[in-house]
Amino acid sequence: MRRAQAAGTLVASAVLLAGFIRATQAPVGDQRAAPPDRWSQFRGSPQLTGVSDAKLPDNLKVLWTYDAGDAIESSAAIADGVVYVGSATGELHAVTLSDGKLRWKYRASAAGIGESSPAVADGIVYVGDLDGVVHAIDVSSGKARWTFKTGSEIKSSPVIAAGIVLVGSYDANLYALRAADGKLVWKVQTQGYVHATPAILGGVAYVTGCDEILRGIRLADGKEVLTLSSGAYTGASPAVTDGRAFYGTYGEEVLGVDLKAKKILWRYKHPERNFPFLSSAALSGNLVIVGGRDKMVHAIDRVSGKATWTFMARARIDSSPAIAGGRAYVGSSDGKLYGLEIATGKRVFEFDAGGPLTASPAVASGRLVIGSHDGKLFCLG
């Protein structure tokens, strides 16, 4: 009887979600670059490409600094002139992009907000916390619209597509929640923590796993349409475009995957320095650009899987690069924000934040925002 009831609920949810998907004119979540005035989620767009159409000044300067009170591992989101970022205080901070003034703070969890980065859509900002709760907060009032409790901590970042919120949990599930009210649409159980953020392409969510599996999960009904072994534990999120996915692993490799053929096209490994990749890749033209715990930024040809250039920092790079105007911007645990020429890897900009940078830059409206482990949120422009 319970199975029949569960099946009926699943069918009803699938019908509802299919209606959402048919209502969209473009393929669900198929957006390669963030628009010039928004960086509304982790990596800028649902494809997690890390690219912005915004233009930044050649010589960035600090415009303002905001003190969040404790470490910032969460990467900022920017929407409608407001910056949203989580901190280890357990608060989500809403700060005005123009001057760094606090608009409101929302108390999520005493356990803190870790790497989960906010996502903004339709007047609501979504974020997960280390108590395992997904929060939906009204952007105007800073008050909760709804919450949803998972079984363990959340470090994955929410992604919104077709009226649902997708987010992973350390309880080993990927959840699809109805964006309007937080009701469960479906969940898919894996065999390990879901640390990574799902990327969306062609109505399918692609998520890497701590169980070493890359999964493709259809948004319409939660059905798995792809399972592919990565050969190693994976904490990095995939960047997807043109039917391919790119991501690094704890097996000291970066992979290029053909999603249609369901096969790995190439494996990149540095010939000398073999360390894990936790940074999520950015895609620019023919290059896959990603940071490594080997203290290097690697630019890899996305067709051949061969190195085009590398850049050496002074400490590991868990921050994920953001690309704007022919440059890649990335933080390092050495406390520096680096600006590198896409074509050559030449360093053309450096800023000392004074504390480790594992969060990723957000770029919008001619400004770059990044948080540090000493609790400072910096806006440069």
24-50 pLDDT, tens digit each: 333 444 568 999 999 999 999 999 999
User: Given a cut of 90, is residue 178 above it in pLDDT?
Assistant: yes
Q: What are phi and psi of 16, to 5 degrees?
A: -60, -45
What is the chain's mean pLDDT, rounded? 93
pLDDT exceeds 80 at position 376: yes
- Check residue 2 and give its pLDDT: 30
**pLDDT (tens digit, 9 = 90+) per residue, 183-203?**
999 999 999 999 999 999 999
Residues 6+ positions from 108 with CB-CB distance below 8 Å:
86, 90, 91, 92, 127, 129, 131, 133, 135
Length of the chain: 381
pLDDT score, position 32? 87
- CA–CA separation, 230 and 234 (whole Å): 8
93 to each of 78, 229, 248, 301, how far by Cα in Å? Answer: 12, 38, 30, 38
- Looking at the chain, the whole-number percentage of residues with pLDDT higher than 70 is 92
d(CA 117, CA 253) in angstroms, rounded, equals 25
pLDDT tens figures, 110-145 = 999 999 999 999 999 999 999 999 999 999 999 999
For residue range 273-282, what is the model confidence (pLDDT) as tens digits? 999 999 999 9
Whether 222 has a pLDDT exceeding 50, the answer reads yes
Range 306-331 average pLDDT: 98
Per DSSP bridges, beta strands 82-86 and 376-380 are unpaired
Give the span between the Cα atoms of 279 and 248, in whole angstroms.
Answer: 7
- Average pLDDT over every residue of 62-73: 98
Q: Give the residue-averaged pLDDT of 64-80.
A: 98
pTM of the predicted protein model: 0.92
pLDDT (0 to 100) of residue 30:
56
Which residues neighbour 190 within 8 Å (Cβ) at sequence distance 6 or greater? Answer: 172, 173, 174, 209, 210, 211, 213, 215
3: pLDDT strictly greater than 70: no
204: confidence class by pLDDT, cuts 50, 70, 90: very high
pLDDT confidence of residue 31: 62
Contact 296, 345 (CB under 8 A): no
pLDDT score of 12 more than 60: no
By CB atoms closer than 10 A (0-12, 13-18, 19+), residue 214 is: buried
Rounded mean pLDDT of 351-375?
98
